Amino acid sequence: MSMVDIINKKRLGNVLTKDELREAFLGYDRGEIPDYQMSSLLMAICIQGMTDEEIYHLTDIFIHSGDVLDLSHVSGISVDKHSTGGVGDKTTLIIASIAASLGVIVPKMSGRGLGHTGGTIDKLESIPGFCVDLTEEEFIHQLNSIGAAVISQTKNLAPLDKKIYALRDVTGTVESIPLIATSIMSKKIASGADNILIDIKVGSGALLKNQEDALEISRIMKMIGKYYQKDVETMITDMSVPLGTSIGNSLEILEVIKILRNEENNYLVTLSKELASKMVQLAFKKEKIVADQMVEDSLKSGKAYQKFLEIIAAQGGDLSKIYVSPYTQEVSSTKSGCITGIDAYRFGKLSVELGAGRKTKEDTIDPGVGIVLHKQVGDYVQVGDTLCTLYLKENSNPISEDITSYFTFS
């Protein structure tokens, strides 16, 4: 069957066989199928969805497009964590540090930004010298020596997903439950962890906008995990407002440092503690109350922060050289009242416009740009109060849009 026939079959809502999926996706991986045809197939999948059987098949194709990591040489119990994506989501860097400081092995293979949502790898690459491309031997050695490593998809681990991921980012095919589940789970299975924790974001700033979609993707991910004999747990968490106070790569790294040094106390901190506790529960089968206390102790004692510094140093990063743009624009409120909402989606799109994300596959991210929010939901503001600071590229024009409209007031 030709690629056009495969596209039309899915466009009409029919089920693709494994051979048809393999022909299309592996053909794209080999360079035989052009971007525009694969984009058409991805759009047809977005519109028509996929059956569980199709999802099984596509996940398997993604996994076996490359190698599967063997972590049998790593001492300890491993727990991998992944988020479905959100605005200002830097939880991975916080909870990996906490969990590893408590003895959990954290083999983390992360992605780049997707659509209006940020990516952990982009954040880490804002740290000068930080290497996200470790060999399998280096990855295993770091897991054995310090208990955690955060890497990009290697050329040999689910390489097909890496190509499809980049194409989805710029073709309006990001928000597809089957494609999100297949992308995440193929990476998680290929990276070899014993246990997997998925943070399913739902809300205006997430790829998933409603609870129904979140429950469906949770079902699919657990189904895939069971098929591959992995213990998969999910947590459905709120992404209706930006997560934390910073949006943008270097700015988010600086926020992670503040949290690990116990200098922040907000929803992001609370969520990170909950996720880290769940990782401890998965690894050591601890009661929640015990795991919660272990997480608190790790943060208060500074163990989590020290582990973060170990991870950064092990992968060559130099936090002293992190760059934040000196070109700023203060945004003053044009309204008075109590803030009842902050539009995470619009702030995510704004961060891309500033240069913190990509519009095309070829775009280069500026690590120093982004947004810092000075007001949160529940704060009362008056006209003229500073709502946020924009960090701009050199020689860029100021943002003329009324950013106050991103906030809801009562």
**345 and 377 fall within a common domain:** yes
pLDDT per residue as tens digits for the range 362-395? 778 999 999 999 999 999 999 999 999 999 999 8
Q: For residue 55, is it within any domain?
A: no
**98 and 45 fall within a common domain:** no
**257 and 188 fall within a common domain:** yes
Q: Which of 83, 183, 204, 240 is catalytic?
A: 183
325 is catalytic: no
Q: In whole numbers, what is the pLDDT of the chain averaged over residues?
A: 93
Q: Which of 9, 57, 187, 358 is catalytic?
A: 187
**301 and 365 fall within a common domain:** no
pLDDT per residue as tens digits for the range 113-122? 666 666 889 9
pLDDT per residue as tens digits for the range 2-26? 999 999 999 999 999 999 999 999 9
Q: Residue 40 belongs to what domain range?
A: 3-49
pLDDT per residue as tens digits for the range 41-95? 999 999 999 999 999 999 999 999 988 888 889 999 999 998 887 888 899 999 9
82 is catalytic: yes
168 is catalytic: yes
Q: For residue 157, is it within any domain?
A: yes
Q: Which of 10, 81, 82, 278 is catalytic?
A: 82
> What pLDDT shows up at residue 361?
67
Total structural domains in the chain? Answer: 3
Q: Full-prediction pTM beyond 0.85?
A: yes
Q: What distances in angstroms separate CA 387 from CA 9, 183, 271, one per listed residue?
A: 50, 36, 23
Q: What is the CATH number of the domain that holds 31?
A: 1.20.970.10
Q: What is residue 34's DSSP assignment?
A: -
**118 and 105 fall within a common domain:** yes
Q: Which of 29, 60, 89, 161 is catalytic?
A: 161
Share of the chain above pLDDT 90, in %: 77
161 is catalytic: yes
183 is catalytic: yes
Q: What is the CATH number of the domain that holds 342?
A: 3.90.1170.30
**342 and 316 fall within a common domain:** no
The more confidently predicted of residues 155 and 182 is 182
**166 and 44 fall within a common domain:** no
